[in-house]
């Protein structure tokens, strides 16, 4: 049962070092007026925290989970294994393999346990925030209007012709 005061979106990440990427998801959620909670939950370093978070996420009132991780990025998939909530995975750009390791770790889920996988890095985090907004907007007319306005503003910001920039 959803608690009315609970944040709707959990933005979890494997490490403090993921925050510069994952904060872009939080910024979009802020812009759209969606309550959210950023948390560090490591599949490898804090496995008990992961299990506790994922098993209790729905009863805590979360409706969508955004999970970012890099390298051997098991966080989104393991979270999806423990909860029926929609999980959007963000591959964080790793130093060794530029995030291709993260992407392949997150995207190749076995049939039956889905993770909606976004692009590597900032674009993925931003779009994960927008995907969360789209899901929540299905049952929230005010949010649907805010999302429409946000998209319209992006369209109107595109000039018809390019200009030189020094
Ligand atoms: C992953 O390992 C994290 O998601 C992070 O992207 C990566 C590196 O973590 P740190 O060593 O920077 O803490 O679990």
Q: Which CATH class is domain 9-149?
A: alpha beta
For residue 17, the ligand 1 atom closest to its alpha carbon is 12
ipTM of the complex: 0.97
How many CA atoms are closer than 13 Å to the CA of 67, on its beta-carbon side?
Answer: 35
> Is the pLDDT confidence value at 92 over 60?
yes
Which atom, in ligand 1's list, is nearest to the CA of 45? 14
Angstrom distances, CA of residue 137 to CA of 30, 81, 134, 148: 15, 25, 5, 10
CB-ligand 1 contact for 15 (6 Å cutoff) = yes
**pTM of the complete model:** 0.96
102 lines ligand 1 (CB under 6 A): no
Tens digits of residue pLDDT in 129-141: 999 999 999 999 9
Beta bridge partners of 70: 92
Contact 32, 58 (CB under 8 A): no
């Amino acid at each position: 049962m959803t608690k009315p005061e609970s944040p709707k979106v959990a933005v979890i990440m494997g490490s403090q070092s993921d925050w510069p990427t994952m904060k872009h998801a939080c910024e979009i959620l802020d812009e759209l007026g969606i309550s959210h909670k950023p948390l560090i939950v490591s599949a490898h370093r804090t496995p008990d925290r992961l299990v506790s978070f994922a098993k209790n996420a729905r009863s805590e009132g979360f409706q969508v989970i955004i999970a970012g991780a890099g390298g051997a990025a098991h966080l989104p998939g393991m979270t999806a294994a423990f909860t029926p909530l929609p999980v959007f995975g963000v591959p964080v750009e790793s130093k060794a393999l530029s995030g291709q390791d993260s992407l392949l770790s997150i995207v190749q889920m076995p049939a039956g346990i889905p993770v909606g996988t976004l692009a590597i890095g900032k674009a993925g985090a931003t779009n994960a925030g927008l995907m969360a907004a789209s899901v929540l907007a299905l049952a929230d007319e005010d949010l649907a209007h805010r999302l429409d306005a946000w998209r319209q503003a992006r369209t109107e910001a595109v000039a018809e012709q390019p200009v030189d920039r020094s």
